[in-house]
Amino acid sequence: MAKIFKFPSIPKSEKFMDNVSPNHIAEYLALQNPEAPPRVLSAMALAMIYSTHLSMVCEEENYCIKDLFDEDINLAIYDEKKIH
């Protein structure tokens, strides 16, 4: 008799982090902002990635992201249509 194993599914947020490339995002940002220094573009790419990851994890855990901060803060809220 065969034994069936159930493997836990990988959350979208982890798949996102495994597949996202900060260098590709920085290259795209460089096309949009050619005058910006490379370090700024790299930092901006990382900020966008981690902001999106935070938003996705909060969504998966059914936790309101705004509860993490005492004041209003502008974060890129995860929207599946905007992630490329």
Report the amino acid identity of residue 62.
N
Each residue's pLDDT tens digit, 19-50: 999 999 999 999 999 999 999 999 999 999 99
4: left (phi over 0), alpha (psi -120 to 50) or beta: beta
Delimit the domains of the chain by residue range. Answer: 12-82
Residue 81, pLDDT score:
57
Residue 65, pLDDT score:
82
Each residue's pLDDT tens digit, 56-65: 999 999 998 8
Residue 84, pLDDT score:
46
